[in-house]
A and B are shown apart, each in its own frame.
Chain A
Amino acid sequence: MDHLEQLESISVHILREAYANFKQLCMLWSIGKDSTVLLWLARKAFIGHVPFPLVHIDTGYKIPEMIEYRDRLTQKWHLNMIYGINTEALNNKQTFPDGNAGRIECCRILKTETLEHTLSGRWPRYRYNHSEKKYQLDSNTEPFTGVIVGVRADEEGTRSKERYFSPRDRQNDWDIAEQPPEFWNQYKTDFAPGTHVRIHPLLDWTELNIWEYIEREKIPTVSLYYNQGEGKRYRSLGCRPCTNPIESDASTVKEIIEELKSGKLANIAERSGRAQDAEDGGGLETLRRDGYM
């Protein structure tokens, strides 16, 4: 088995464990490369199917290509697609682009809070109706107790502390000092009422591994990752006002892999184009503790 097969094996095992143990299970799909690889791995684990809903948190400021891509794959792969959005904050203009919140505060309002309330079912969920080809208010408001997330340990400091199965308490908080042990391939699949578990099948993958896998499997990815002739591409995707492309000529997956292997990006953090990180002291600790993905 080569390194990609080993990574795939662990991820598939984790996904199957999650599906077997959590009745109210969902997967967060940010439309980015990592969670799209995660979605692909789910199709591997369940032999072409994705037997749980995908949840996208729409901040209202996502780059438009991301939403188009999301809905295209939703139709093509028959995904059970749900999104949540903080309509109230957007209407009241409580956002960074409107000048009424700092970047971190804006992330908290549009992403973290929206995520928390969408997962708990307290805020409206919009589900894609495949026959009518549009999103409709979802009648199911059951809280999700298992949430699959595509974080990787090499992204930044905090994420390297994560477990494959990581409990969150009633307040959605992550207690970093009091994490349960993971013996061999036995994970935390029992949880108290009101709490939920975040599941991280991609923890051991690196940025390079993700691209190598995209290449091997020919996974469709959003065009923003590739240079469209202007010498720029996005390395990490987020909201339009807080995400900047990097200088790069890479216009294919192969070229991105070469770029990563060349060491050209070795000295630049993957999320350097994400302005909220810099404001949080270089890590995402404040955001993550509150439940940021």
Chain B
Amino acid sequence: MSTPDIKMADEQTTERMNIVIAGHVDHGKSTIIGRLLADTGSLPKGKLEHIRQTCRRNSKPFEYAFLLDALKDEQSQGITIDSARVFFSTSARDYIIIDAPGHIDFLRNMVTGASRAEAALVVIDAVEGVQENSRRHGYMLSMLGIRQIVVLVSKMDLVEYSKDTFDRIMAEYTRFLAEIGITCDFVPVSGKAGDNIAVGSERLGWYTGRTVLQALDAFEKEPQPVDKPFRMPVQDVYKFTRAGDKRRIVAGTIESGRIAAGDEVVFYPSGKTSTIKSIEGFNQPPQTSAQAGQPCAFTLDRQIYVTRGEIAARQKQTKPRVTSRIRASLFWMGAKPMIKDKTYLIKVGTAKQPVELDEVKRVINASDLSSTEAKNCIEYHDVAECILSVHRAVAFDCADEIAATGRFVIVDDYEICGGGIITEALTDTQLWMRDYVMTRNYKWQTSTISREDRAERYNQKPTLVLVTGRKDVGKKTIAKAVEARLFADGKIVYFMGIGNILYGVDADIKVAGTAENRDEHLRRLAEVANIMLDAGTILVVTAIALTQSDLDIISAAVDTDSIEVVWVGPNLTDVNYDLLVSEGWDLNDTVEEVKMMLQDKGIIFKP
């Protein structure tokens, strides 16, 4: 076996690749990385000697693993606690090795590491063989979307370089990987003795395959999905008017496909369309197109109101899915289990919405792929197939169609506690609404005055304030008082009594005293509200005992995120309220509370 061409770390190569290294604790990952660094001449001068000295001082045998233990904590615990990044180069390209820890409690570090990687090394100890974490990590890598894996069977020096041991481990792990649809190469190594890391070894004469360095260089760069349908989750819409810039710029990173000036774009879930006027940039030659992998900024020729959270797609290409019910494979790493009847946040693309766990279809034990059906929650380190119910429909793709827009995370109490891939878009109860709302948005006549212009003029954000609660709790009194107070403050505000809808817009349908037409009534209410909000008002509406599903219908039709629900009195429904007004309220205090809430949320401004 020839010695690979090793280059110094500082020489220039243009290609770089992130590699995650995973495996059970103590299976020798750090030693292998330490050896890779030493053998490729990637260490700062004196580093190796410094560590040898430290070891001598502490009467500890030197280990290559110590090179990575940059933190004092780690050295005392003897385990790597985070995904450290290590830089080195071969003649083929630059590498960043992301060292994912093997300790069972530290799986979130592996996820972090693997999320940034294009390929993976999995280390399995020749003495201990395939362990629970070896399988778990393999499964996780596959779920995170890593397709290129090489398995290193480590510590071969401790099994007298036995081919039988190597073959046995290879057969066992290959069987496991086959079940999750992954094939890969195996390399027998000894980090301590340096066999098969950078150079081949006589002691492993029976092995004719690649060394670790050669295996790394054999990984292929995953091409950007430029030929898939165009997808760009909208990160923001910029208008830097104060700096004298009149452009209204839609910004995001293109996840797949390509786009050019003149292309017609559709935003989902709203269904609004416009045409790309220009591709914008700073300190770069003028461009007329952009493609997957690139950060992008464009202007539109027809001003439409789009917000962060929507996905830009191209007309006449496959549409993204839009629904509020999704089937997903979810990996949970929260200390508290994910339970039903609790509201979490889902982040999919740039959208962030409240979400609930509807149903656990089955829980898979990632380490042996056995499954349990009868489970009501998703516990720490479970991988579950489940159904999630998002409060408001989001746009996405199924992960097997476009990987990047088929991924999501779940936030519980400020922390990312789970991540997953969407396997299916399910129909939901607002499907009937959404179809016509998208048509409405498509046909919507926009005026030359934008929503921002109005918001700036009126010094307020158009907002629907829904005052709800049981019968005879004083909803109308509160709503009218809020209107009067905001009006006195100079706000553009309107109170809309429900009777005004019932006997006017609803004249042709029977609503009062029947549940039959409730959805249609809500739709009409929402449509009227939508026009009022488009005009820039703060609209105060009363409604009897709104449920979450009622609110979902209204949200689906109203073209704003700005809906505030004020619940008055006892016997709450399942609706997620923003403000609770308890029985025995004082009118002035209540109005003040509503006003404070609107100020806190930036809908109106503090004086």
Q: Is B432 close to A, CB under 8 A?
A: no
Report the Cα distance A13→B236, complex, angstroms.
11
Quote the shortest CB–CB distance from B32 to chain A (angstroms): 17
Report the Cα distance A158→B82, complex, angstroms.
10
Are A6 and B293 interface neighbours, CB within 8 A?
yes
Report the Cα distance A191→B144, complex, angstroms.
25
- With A13-B235, A47-B297 as known contacts, state yes or no: A261 contacts B414, CB within 8 Å: no
Q: Is A186 close to B, CB under 8 A?
A: yes
Across the interface, A161 reaches (CB within 8 A) one of B9, B16, B46, B84, namely: B84
Name which residue of chain B comes closest to A190, CB basis: B414
For B411, list chain A residues within 8 Å (CB).
Answer: 190
Report the Cα distance A46→B295, complex, angstroms.
11
* Interface-located stretch among A86-94, A132-140, A149-157, A234-242: A149-157
**Size bin of chain A's contact surface:** 35 or more
Q: Is A131 close to B, CB under 8 A?
A: no
Quote the shortest CB–CB distance from A141 to chain B (angstroms): 15
- With A1-B294, A6-B293 as known contacts, state yes or no: A49 contacts B243, CB within 8 Å: yes
Name which residue of chain B comes closest to A8, CB basis: B295
Q: Is B472 close to A, CB under 8 A?
A: no
Name which residue of chain B comes closest to A207, CB basis: B10
Are A177 and B81 interface neighbours, CB within 8 A?
yes
Across the interface, A16 reaches (CB within 8 A) one of B15, B85, B251, namely: B251
CB neighbors of B among A270-292 (8 A): 281-283, 285
- With A78-B243, A160-B70, A190-B414 as known contacts, state yes or no: A182 contacts B115, CB within 8 Å: yes
Interface string of A1-38 (1 = CB under 8 A from B): 11101101100110011011000000000000000000
Are A266 and B111 interface neighbours, CB within 8 A?
no
Are A190 and B85 interface neighbours, CB within 8 A?
no
Are A44 and B85 interface neighbours, CB within 8 A?
no
Are B236 and A161 interface neighbours, CB within 8 A?
no
Are B235 and A17 interface neighbours, CB within 8 A?
yes
Are B10 and A262 interface neighbours, CB within 8 A?
yes
- With A45-B295, A181-B108, A181-B419 as known contacts, state yes or no: A158 contacts B251, CB within 8 Å: no
For A45, list chain B residues within 8 Å (CB).
Answer: 251, 295
For B71, list chain A residues within 8 Å (CB).
Answer: 157-158, 161, 176, 283, 285
Are B295 and A16 interface neighbours, CB within 8 A?
yes
Are A179 and B240 interface neighbours, CB within 8 A?
no
CB neighbors of A among B273-294 (8 A): 280-283, 293-294
Quote the shortest CB–CB distance from B78 to chain A (angstroms): 14
Quote the shortest CB–CB distance from A220 to chain B (angstroms): 12
Report the Cα distance A154→B347, complex, angstroms.
30
Report the Cα distance A183→B408, complex, angstroms.
8
Quote the shortest CB–CB distance from A5 to chain B (angstroms): 7
For A78, list chain B residues within 8 Å (CB).
Answer: 243
CB neighbors of A among B398-426 (8 A): 404, 407-409, 411, 414-416, 419
Across the interface, B112 reaches (CB within 8 A) one of A19, A182, A208, namely: A182
Name which residue of chain A comes closest to B408, CB basis: A186
From B109, B224, B333, name the one whose CB has the most chain A CB atoms within 10 angstroms: B109
CB neighbors of B among A160-176 (8 A): 160-161, 163, 176
Name which residue of chain B comes closest to A203, CB basis: B85
Name which residue of chain A comes closest to B333, CB basis: A181
Q: Is B50 close to A, CB under 8 A?
A: yes
For B70, list chain A residues within 8 Å (CB).
Answer: 156-158, 160-161, 283
**Size bin of chain B's contact surface:** 35 or more
Report the Cα distance A176→B109, complex, angstroms.
11
Q: Is A265 close to B, CB under 8 A?
A: yes
Are B82 and A267 interface neighbours, CB within 8 A?
no
- With A8-B295, A13-B235 as known contacts, state yes or no: A186 contacts B14, CB within 8 Å: no
Name which residue of chain B comes closest to A265, CB basis: B10
Report the Cα distance A184→B308, complex, angstroms.
18
Name which residue of chain A comes closest to B236, CB basis: A20
Are B415 and A183 interface neighbours, CB within 8 A?
no
Q: Is A62 close to B, CB under 8 A?
A: no
Name which residue of chain B comes closest to A259, CB basis: B10
Are B283 and A217 interface neighbours, CB within 8 A?
yes
Q: Is A73 close to B, CB under 8 A?
A: no
Q: Is A188 close to B, CB under 8 A?
A: yes
For A20, list chain B residues within 8 Å (CB).
Answer: 235-236, 308, 350
Are B245 and A48 interface neighbours, CB within 8 A?
yes
Quote the shortest CB–CB distance from A200 to chain B (angstroms): 12
Q: Is B550 close to A, CB under 8 A?
A: no
Quote the shortest CB–CB distance from A175 to chain B (angstroms): 11
Name which residue of chain B comes closest to A153, CB basis: B85
Could you tell me which B residues sit within 8 Å of A by CB distance? 8-12, 14-16, 18, 41, 44-46, 50, 70-73, 81-87, 94, 96, 108-109, 111-112, 115-116, 144-145, 224, 235-236, 238, 240, 243, 245, 247, 249, 251-253, 280-283, 293-295, 297, 308, 333, 345, 347, 350, 404, 407-409, 411, 414-416, 419
A47-B247, A47-B282, A183-B407 known; 6 new pairs, CB 8 Å cut-off, are A3-B14, A3-B94, A181-B111, A183-B416, A191-B414, A261-B10
